[in-house]
Amino acid sequence: MRKSTFLILSFLIVMSMVLAACAPAAVATPITITSAPQVVKETQVVTQVVPATPAPVPLTYARNETLYTSGTQWGPPSSWNPFNGGGYAMGTIGLVYETLYIYDPLADKFIPWLAAQDMKWVDPTTLEIKLRDGITWTDGTPLTADDVLFTYKLADPNGDFKAGLNFAGLYNFLSSIDKVDNLTVDFKFKANPAYQEVGFYLWQTPIVQAASWSKLDVKDITGGANENGIGSGPYLFESHDQDRQVLVRNDNWWGIKAFGKTPGPKRIVDIVNGSNNVALGLVLQGGLDLSNNFLPGVATLVKGGYGVQTYYPEAPYMLSANVAALIINEQIKPLDDVNFRKAMAYAINTDDIVQTAYTGIVKAADPTGLLPIWDKYVDQDMVAKYGWSYDPAKAKQILADAGYKDVNNDKFVENKDGSPIALEVTCPSGWTDWMASIQIISKNAQAVGINMTPAYPDYGPWRDAQLKGTFQLSIQNESQMSSTPWSYYKWVFQNPIANIATAQYGNYGRYDNPKAFDLVNQLNQVKVGDDAAIKAITSQLQEITLTEYPTIPLWYNGLWSQVSNAVWTNWPSSADSANHYLPASWRGYWNMTGIEMLLDLKPAAAQ
């Protein structure tokens, strides 16, 4: 038995050597096949004349033409439908389907994409969108005003489809969409439209082809897999398997002419993550060019000569993508007491979380919770007046002054009526960074006399408790960077309270403050770019968050991004000489300048 095993093994080893010797030759041949223009011609020929001959797709992708990414897909690719919000394959929106505008959060700028020019309000209630001339779908037909009209009308509650898509909110203030000419669409709004929200939808809504989508019924539009859909973007879906999604460059993409730039990689292979450990291994092996995984301890990789680069060369290494806040259930005692919440804010040692749980790769949050991209809206006087920092002595003092005393000598304070306090702070099981964070938070709370313990339910029940309002304390980071701070304040002050379970976006603690709700609506109605008005309104909102503590902003979760310069260079970074796009492949980030990063990528050898 053992003899035969050895025989088999040695045979395999010999085979391996033979094959390893063959391997470079096997790689070399396809390179000659894949010279770009040739492929395009041949695919066209194939579709028209001989369907029996498959397009010349190489068996092995040349390394210097391929970009390997990861950090977006956590299961086998299963949907290529741009309306399948959180579940579509990497790149569906941004690389395959495109939006009218893309948004640059670092420069706070809308960049016309399918649209030909900046957003133009003809009058206070009419937005005119002009499309670029010469954009084509991948089937060769032109992308026109009809497609834009069709896409936005999908969500019309009185239209043909009534599809519940995420831009359906537009219809709260939209009165009609009209085609002016083949390349022009007018959006007509009711009085006082929510300009901020409109802007938000313009860079988030993927435009789909009217000709092919109009044949689908509403179920397939919202829930179909759309496996061989026709897009307009710089990449096409090529193949997929259990552990990967492969995209190939669209060499007929309109942008090549319009921007004078061709996306660097011929192919993008997005790797499905089993775990972040595997991503770390792949980064070390040089098998990943862009990893958008959370890799704790990345500082040592950046400094240790592993060829790994992050956006900042120093702490915090990562751009800030969203704010992680302690969310508080304001419906229960003692969390309904503003003084108790205030004591918690002073009790938490955020720097310890940043250093211990995150090894310094995140930034402590501003007390306002506004992301660094919204620094210009932070009212510094207000922060100086009401802002807080870690101060356990003060936290104890606040509790004592508010009447929370330790009645039964268990070292923890009791409710004012003498009943014991036992709070639970939760995060999903397996989210190791958050688990470490809530351990620190509980320890900090206990140190000032608040009986708090961490708990780690599965993601499902954890999420359910927020929607139903049955949690006590938890961490949430749903509010991402976006074109408007309205999206952050909408998250903090989601209302009406009765709709929180269905709105599924913020205010899970059911904080009720009509004045704040009204201010959020006012903020929504500020014109895009009117920074003074935004500042005036957000300043009032900041006063509310700083004195009422509806949530306690703790740290900014990073735009996790580890890139390698081995094969591709010219990555975004904070350096003056570099570009400042977002180095991200996450859903919703290609249309926040991620795509521009691809246009600027250069093969390492060419430099």
Partner 1 sequence: MAKYFRRKLLIYLLTFIIAVTVDWCIPRFMPGNPVDLIISRAGLKGSAVSQMYTFYMQAFGLDQPIWKQYLNFWIAIFHGDLGTSIFLFPSPVTKVILGAVPYDLALLIPAILTSWFAGNNFGAFAARSKRLDNTLLPLGYILTGTPYMWLGIVLAWAFGIAWRIFPIAGGYSFAMRPALTLPFIWSLFQHWFLPFASLFIVQFGGWAIGMRNLIIYELEADYSHYLAALGAPKRLVRKYAFQNAMLPQLTGLALQLGVIVAGALATEVVFSYPGIGYLILQAIHNEDYFLLQGCFLFVVIGVLLANFIIDITYVIVDPRTRAGMQGGAS
Residues in 333-372 that interact with partner 1 by CB under 8 A: none
Tokens of 24: 């470079």
Place of tokens 């061709």: 262
Work out whether 273 is an interface residue with partner 1 (CB under 8 A). Answer: yes
Positions 19 through 38 that interact with partner 1 (CB under 8 A) = 19, 22-23, 26
Tokens of 563: 């890139």
Structure tokens at 99: 């939006």
Question: Considering beta carbons, is residue 297 or 430 the nearer one to partner 1?
Answer: 430
Interface characters, 494-523, with partner 1 (x: CB under 8 A): -----x-xxxxx------------------
Among 287, 387, 392, 603, binds partner 1 (CB under 8 A): 287
DSSP string, 376-425: GG--HHHHHHH-----HHHHHHHHHHTT---SSSSSS-B-TTS-B--EEE
For residue 78, state whether it binds partner 1 (rule: CB under 8 A): yes
Amino acid identity, position 240: H
Which of the residues 81 through 100 are near partner 1 (CB under 8 A)? 84-87
Residue with Cβ nearer partner 1 (10 or 277): 277
Task: Check: CB of residue 263 under 8 Å from CB of residue 249.
Answer: yes
Asked if 347 and 444 touch (Cβ cutoff 8 Å), the reply is yes
Alpha carbons 574 and 577: distance in angstroms, whole number: 8
Show the DSSP H helices in 448-498 as ranges: 459-468, 486-492
- Residue 196 phi/psi, 5° resolution? -65, -45
Identify the sign of the CA torsion 400, 404, 406, 411. negative
At 195, list the tokens: 């300009």
Binding to partner 1 by residue 162, rule CB under 8 A? yes
- By CB under 8 A, the residues from 206 to 245 that bind partner 1 are 219, 222-225, 239, 241-244
- Nearer of residues 131 and 221 to partner 1, judged by Cβ: 221
Nearer to partner 1, 87 or 603 (CB): 87
Residue 539 C-beta: closest distance to partner 1, Å: 26
User: 124 in the Ramachandran plot: left (φ > 0), alpha (ψ -120 to 50) or beta?
Assistant: alpha
Is 11 an interacting residue with respect to partner 1 (CB under 8 A)? no
Considering only 13, 14, 15, 422, the residue that binds partner 1 (CB under 8 A) is 15
Stretch that binds partner 1, among 10-18, 188-196, 413-421, 442-450 (CB under 8 A): 10-18
Which window, 57-65, 252-260, 347-355, 440-448, contacts partner 1 (CB under 8 A)? 57-65
Residue span binding partner 1 (CB under 8 A) among the ranges 79-87, 322-330, 515-523, 536-544? 79-87
User: Which residue lies nearer to partner 1 by CB, 57 or 407?
Assistant: 57
Euclidean distance between CA atoms 316 and 519, whole angstroms = 33
The residue among 89 and 353 lying less far from partner 1, judged by its C-beta, is 89
Could you say which residues in the range 456-485 bind partner 1, by CB under 8 A?
Answer: 458-461, 463-464, 467
CB 438 within 8 A of CB 426: yes
User: Phi and psi dihedrals of 344, rounded to 5?
Assistant: -65, -40
Q: Tell me the number of residues near partner 1 by CB under 8 A.
A: 75
